[in-house]
Amino acid sequence: MLTSVRSLAAASILVGCAFAATPAFADDAPAADAAAKPMPAFTVTGNVSLVTDYRFRGVSLSGGDPAIQGGITVTHETGLYVGAWSSSLAHTPVYGDQELDVFGGWSGEVASGLTLDAGLLYYVYPSGHVGDGNYWEPYASLSGSIGPAKLKVGVAYDWKQKGLINNAGNHDDNLYVYSNLDVAVPGTPLTVSGHIGYTDGVLAPCYYCTGTPTFDDRTGWDWSIGASATVLGPISVGVSYIGVSGASVDGYTDDTIVGTLTASF
């Protein structure tokens, strides 16, 4: 997800700092000791959000209604991280009314100005009571900056597994590729963002939009454009226009505007 992750949804990197030791007089010792204090090996980051609609790769998983979301990530100075993220859902027998994503991976610079993020995510639906909708998803992305612009390209692949079932009742796979562009507006707290993604597989936007899905329904595009800004300390707000290709189903795959209020720590 990963808009959930995703878009969400998402990992933080701890940047190590080194301080050179220098001679100091006795009166300066406390300041010198404070400067020499090493950075912690682990950092913890998280957020809590209220969204007007939970859109996962363009498709609403909250029935077009608001959702509460939140996550936490623990990152080691080596770039290794683990975390969890959750969102409320529109209740269904298979998925219940909650999504819980558990993930782990590594992120770090692999070339000058180029960052790799790779890991494994497990989608869990703890309140589902019909069948098994849980599934695994390996992911990887590369990101870099050009001036105020940040560009990311990524891929996620779900192999054939128990939690992914096509219209014929067989296990199926799914491939998702995407690109994100974020541009910070100089002199303002505003960031303008764009996203485009392509799905090929059982999780395509309109695979379940029709009673008898065809091969063409196994593929689809999703996109969004929006802006976000920090308004007060850790509080930020955002708004995005989101759309998907294929049939438009109200509260599911119809184009919509999504507002977000987030508190980060």
SS in 3 state form for the chain? CCCEECEEECCCCCCCCCCCCCCCCHHHHHHHHHHHCCCCCEEEEEEEEEECCCEECCEECCCCCCEEEEEEEEEECCCEEEEEEEEEEEEECCCEEEEEEEEEEEEEEEECCEEEEEEEEEEECCCCCCCCCCEEEEEEEEEEEECCEEEEEEEEEECCCCCCECCCCCECCEEEEEEEEEEECCCCCEEEEEEEEEEEECCCCCCCCCCCCCHHHHEEEEEEEEEEEEEECCEEEEEEEEEECCCCCCCCCCCEEEEEEEEEC
List, run by run, the mean pLDDT of 10-residue segments along the chain (265 residues): 37 32 37 62 97 97 97 98 98 95 98 97 95 95 96 98 86 96 96 97 78 67 97 96 92 96 97
36-91 pLDDT per residue, tens: 567 789 999 999 999 999 999 999 999 999 999 999 999 999 999 999 999 999 99
